[in-house]
Amino acid sequence: MKEGNVVVYVVVGFLGLAAAALAFAAEATKIKISDITVTEPGKCEYPNNPADILGYVAASLTLINQIIVSIVGRCTCWQRNGSKTSNTQHPAVPFFIISWVGSIIGIGLLLYGANLSTRQEFLASKGVCYALKSGVFAAGGVMTTVACILGIFSANRHSTPREVPYQGGLT
Contacts of 18 (CB under 8 A, 6+ apart): 61
Most confident of 69-73, 82-86, 163-167: 69-73
| Amino acid 127: pLDDT | 80
What whole-number distance in Å separates Cα of residue 96 and Cα of residue 98? 6
| Amino acid 73: pLDDT | 72
| Amino acid 119: pLDDT | 83
| Amino acid 108: pLDDT | 96
Please report which confidence band the pLDDT of residue 18 belongs to, taking 50, 70 and 90 as the band edges: very high
CB 76 within 8 Å of CB 91: no
Tens-place pLDDT, residues 22-64: 999 999 999 888 888 888 878 888 888 899 999 999 999 999 9
Q: Taking the domains of the chain in order of start, what are their residue ranges?
A: 3-159
| Amino acid 77: pLDDT | 45
* Residue 51: strand, helix, or coil: helix
What whole-number distance in Å separates Cα of residue 24 and Cα of residue 145? 11
Please report which confidence band the pLDDT of residue 163 belongs to, taking 50, 70 and 90 as the band edges: low
Look over the chain and give the mean of its residue pLDDT values, rounded to a whole number: 82
What whole-number distance in Å separates Cα of residue 59 and Cα of residue 109? 9
